[in-house]
Structure 1
Amino acid sequence: MRILHTSDWHLGRTLHGVNLLGHQSAYLDHLVEVVRAEGIDAVVVAGDVYDRAIPPVEAVELLSGTLRRLLEVTQVVVSPGNHDSAARLGFGADLMREGLHVRARSRDVGTAVELHDAEGNLGALVYALPYLDPDDARHVLASEDGPLARSHEAVTTAAMERVQADMARRRARGGAPVPSVLAAHTFVVGGEASESERDIRVGGVDSVPSGVFRGVDYVALGHLHGPQRVPVADLDGRRTVARYSGSPLAYSFSEMNHRKSSVVVDLRADGVHGEPELIAAPVPRRLTEVRGTLEEILGELGEEHVDCWTRVHVTDPARPENLVARVRARLPHALAVLHEPPARVGEGADAPHLTAADPFDVCCDFVTHVRGGGEAAAPDEAEQAVLRRALENVLAAERSA
């Protein structure tokens, strides 16, 4: 069978205020054509179909039309990510037409979607893990010993135990071997993140060891926006191939060097045949960055950025008058215009840095700063617990909005 793996569509998202729905629609047109041209037997979408829990009507209509066109030529397996509302994405899943499988419930992780080839034979088993919020999944997936630890590793390990148990039962019944696919929306250790993924930290732990997925033939990962392979050790001589397909569009300037793509995987009875093929996604407009004085940017330096979405760093010592208007007259698609004068003597090493990846660290640094700085001003353990709980409550509220 031929599987196309994609994820992180984020339908309804904007980029610095630019509506991307038209460009997302162009990608989905491309996706449908790839499915037709490449003879794809099933499309696996590993989460973050929408950008938020309550998507705009236009995004819902775009998804509906895309699924309708895909189902004319293939089968589709969809599961929610941390941006989606599992309840809303999975509404009516039992009533949906044949060929569309929406797996949004944590308790169903050990139940395989059986994909059949053109002759009607069982060609692959797909186990779809929705985004497993530890606060909920640790109770849903609990064993007789009680709730699981509050971490992504614990709930994903428990989910994989159910997957492995189902695979073992099938092997015990005999019959021809069937390749297995796991779709999971999570942050796997070793993956390279970018700025546009929503933080999924819970209790300070946001990652899952890749070894959790051993024994599955192909792991279709979602969450990280850069296409990349994640190494997984073999189990009893059987190879596991794990990849992030990445997002189809760049959603931050940290992604401007990504080569966006979808992944085509050929499956045989003994697992993944050869290496997955990356199918390049259409690029609506390149993301670029330019740095220089205003005169340089308005001159030759800006020439190659005229048709790009650009982040502009203007380095004049004093802020030029009408800076943004003048830059955008030259670079009409400039999305961010920043004035960054050269550091004065004595500045630089002591200048504040606000690029911490963890919002919790930013909050702790802020508390320390307003108290006058120094080790004594840092929040103690009780205060850190309050800050962390507040941040996690905000994340939970965003997921359930």
Structure 2
Amino acid sequence: MAAPGPYMAGQITGPVPPLPPGQLLYYTPQPSPHAQVTWIPTSIADTYSEPTPFLTKFPIFSELPVELRLRIWQFAAHPRIIEIRSWGDTQRNQYTPIKYSVVPHRPPSILHINSESRAEGLRIYKRVKIGVSTTVMDPNRTYVPWRHHPHNPYTPYNRWRQDSFVFPLAFPYPPVELYIDYSRDTIYLGPEFRSQHLQSFLTTTGDGFELGEVQNLALDRKLWVGSQQGRWEFLRNSLYSLRLRPLKTLYIVPDDELNYLNDKFYYKPHTISLLEPAITYKFKPEGQTEYAKTVVENLGEWFERLWVDSGREAPVVRVKSVRRDGRRMGDFREGLWEVQRMLGDMRVWKNWVPAQST
């Protein structure tokens, strides 16, 4: 058998050599930015229509049979997109506590209409804590509030600042709580969710297990593109950890933009919609005549391979286009092609075997 083609860190010029379980070989992403891309309109119109005006009063509602009223309340529990944000630069400062938030966020309206709707809402929605992955504390360590921590750049000189002292850890932020119906709602790790927090957020088990029953999960573009050095451990380990959850659909959101989140979208509750994109694409890598597989196809095969012995069906990978209060954000084509270009042909992913399975 012929020896594997030449390769080196940062570049692959031939076949990928067999890798030990869990090992990652860095590589220059494929395909080339000069690939021939064809964008294809879909049958889904890329429009957002304002909801049709409806009556705000129905005086005889209370006279309806209770079974019918409860059925109507169930229809009032609309699917929602719940965006999670994270704070704290843990790459520059390992002592920085991580904070998760779900602002802007509106609780389900069914919970605060009347006592009957609330009772039905509490049957539908489950109260979930977000941020439990960071709240477990080591009983052998000292903890201080972050505002007094010696590694907080805004903390004045205090008694902890000693060169020979083992720095204490900062008290973690408490988790946030919200009502979720996992069968209806989609959890969205948006443009304000830091890439450096993704792995710890999804791979922590035990008391710090996050989103244990999530069925629909969306990830913003920047969580898919990895780093400029071609490092994918955080993303790949995070995706593999989803085997522990009943995930049905995983969405790529390529057109949300942190820079476009003006004050209205940044601070105030608003509606987030994930729509079917109006275009899709196919491409031929530079110098080739055959169409290559898209990132959606490659990811689908990767999930199928690693989920085969999990006892669950592999999640379906799809692309969605985001709207905030019906407004477009970033450039859909540019964002989706960036994900395709950075993940490339996923040749290293296809040979990857998780270390814990050996």
TM-score tier by shorter-chain length is under 0.3
TM-score normalised by structure 1 residue count: 0.23
TM-score, structure 2 length as denominator? 0.25
Q: Highest relative contact order (Cα 8 Å, sep 6+), 1 or 2? A: 2
Question: Which structure is higher in helix share?
Answer: 1
